[in-house]
Amino acid sequence: MIPLDYLRITRRGKEIKPAYLSDVSAAAEVLEAARGAKTLGDFRKAVEALRGDRKLLGGLARLVEQLMEVEEVDSRLVARVRLEVFKASSAAGFPLTPEEREKIFEAAAAKLRMGAEEVKRLFMKAYEENRAVLKPPGVDPAELMRRYNLALIQTLLFKSLYVKATLPNAPVVVKSLVRAVKGLRLMYIAEERSGDLEFHFDGPASALRQTERYGVRLAKLVPYITAAGRWSIEAAVKLNEKIYTFRESNATAPDMPKNPVEAEEFDSSVELEFYRQVSRVCPVQREPEVLVVGGRVYIPDFKIGDLYIEIVGFWTPDYLRRKYEKIAKVGKPLLILVNEELAMATWRQLLPNVVMFKGRPRLEDVFKHVKPYCRQ
């Protein structure tokens, strides 16, 4: 994904599309700038010196920075070093000569019990531009172009009201996509249509709160869609108070990365903590069988006996109601755990068998619900 400021689009009536890149020359120039850079600052200056479309070059540069191996720093240590340097400077007065500047660093170094040269180095690392480029991107211009075109779709969908994605109902495709959707905690409904699966996602522009965080997560899903052999995307996109329709498919899109850009590691700390707590008192099955509910696909987070358990991330009251009604058709008992901090709208009354939690669900909050289903 790239920042909205770098999004390049074309409009035709009520239709909107990214301005895809079809020539690798700009990608080659940006990669060359990266290979000759010793620091991030060097790279950014080299890109600024290039001639061409600033949005295009800026977007390519942002992707290249994501692919670089850049020096990591201990941000807490850097902050501590800078604080001691500023304290020493305040005590001694603003340095007017190199010698006075050196004494300030020496005073801070003594306080920190570090060498003066190390203090200087860490002091400068507070600025991204001073961080060393350890390894340039390991991609060629054609691959960078493919990733750029993918990033344009991701960024455009950041402004979507809804997204509809259609993929073949193939086990490998469905399993990876549904796991991605669940891991990213997106609000979705899936339907089966003529052998395909149609996923409907609430877009970030439709939410009242948490828009940016939700938009980033929706953007992360796009590589899982485009990695399928056959796919299509339709979305309503809101830009400058106007609503446009975006349509794309494997038949019309330029080449995309064949696999997800990175295997996303989901933040499953809430699920892990729940599993650890409850498995001490009950046998817990993680990601049990796939359920088909009225032509829809559903994979619960957990199963205890006959009780299905779902931990919901971002939500609205309407979303919870739709999910509850869908699972109720299975005729199985269901417990929904809802993170109060990720609510995207205010709520007054929730459905039965919904437990609210802050941060992480606690055993005492859910045990009375799961106890009847525990089978040792």
Average pLDDT over residues 318-326: 72
The yes-or-no verdict on residue 355 having pLDDT over 90 is no
Band of the pLDDT at 364, cuts 50, 70, 90?
confident
Say which CATH architecture domain 158-265 belongs to. Answer: 2-Layer Sandwich (3.30)
**pTM beyond 0.75, yes or no:** no
The yes-or-no verdict on residue 113 having pLDDT over 80 is yes
Measured CA to CA, the distance from residue 80 to residue 76 in angstroms comes to 6
Q: Which residues of 40-75 are buried (b: 16+ CB within 10 A; e: fewer)?
A: bebbbebbeebeeeebbbbbbbbbbbebbebeebee
Give the model's pLDDT for residue 29.
97
At 297-320, the pLDDT tens digits run 677 788 888 888 888 776 677 777
Average pLDDT over residues 8-23: 95
Helix (H, G, I), strand (E, B) or coil at 371: helix
| Least confident span in 53-62, 109-118, 142-151 | 109-118
- The torsion defined by the Cα of 311, 296, 287 and 158, in degrees rounded to 10, comes to -60
Average pLDDT over residues 105-127: 83
Q: Tally the residues of the chain.
A: 376
At 178-194, the pLDDT tens digits run 778 877 878 788 887 77
Give the model's pLDDT for residue 266.
41
Two structure tokens written together for 103: 């004494």
At 36-94, the pLDDT tens digits run 899 999 999 999 999 999 999 999 999 999 999 988 877 888 888 888 888 888 887 77
Class of domain 269-373: alpha beta
Mean pLDDT of the chain: 83
At 245-292, the pLDDT tens digits run 999 999 999 999 876 544 444 446 788 888 888 888 889 887 776 666
